[in-house]
Structures are given as C-alpha cells and as structure tokens.
Amino acid sequence: MASNPASTPLRIVVGCDNAGVQYKDALKETLQKHKGVKEVLDVGVKDAKDDKAYPHSAVEAARKVKNGEVSSLLASCRSVSPHREVRY
C-alpha cells in the first residue's frame, strides 16, 4: 500500500543571503508551528550583517534535498546586477 504524501511529515531546509534573512526567519517560524512539518533545517545566514554569498547557502540546501535529508527547499535572497536590482 502506497503512503499518502499529504500525511507524511515534511522535513524542509531553508536558506538565504543577508537580504533575505528576515523573510527566511518568518518562514522558518511559521513552518516550525505547522503540524505537517517534522523538521526545519536552516542553512541561511543568521543576521543581516553576515555577507556569506547566497550561492553557498543554495548549494548546501540543494545537497540536502539531493541526499534525501529533506523533502523540500525554500530560499530567500536578493540578486543585484550592475544595471538593475532583481528580487525573487
């Protein structure tokens, strides 16, 4: 008998750069309170003063998905080009 994905508790990884830390923290807090979420791993920066480049957090989070440590990934960042600002 196949398991029902909706009844399987989620394990989620969240990541961000310094521009997305407040949003990531809010998402993390909300997810931790949700009864369908078993665990939330945080690989993002811890505060807005941390200048760790976003790709490092994204790669670490993606590896956790690939390795089966988590089922889902949420990322919050801001990418800036010399010509314009792009928000995702």
The one catalytic residue among 5, 7, 77, 79: 77
Query: Which tens digits make up the pLDDT trace of 43-67?
Result: 998 888 887 767 788 889 999 999 9
Per-domain residue ranges of the chain: 9-87
What DSSP string runs through 36-61?
A: TEEEEEE-S-SSTT----HHHHHHHH
Fold (CATH) for 9-87: Ribose 5-phosphate Isomerase B; Chain: A, (3.40.1400)
* Number of alpha carbons in the 13 Å side-chain half-sphere of residue 86: 6
Residue 44 CB-density burial (10 A; 0-12 exposed, 13-18 middle, 19+ buried): buried
Query: Which tens digits make up the pLDDT trace of 25-47?
Result: 999 999 999 999 999 999 998 88
Q: Is 16 a catalytic residue?
A: no
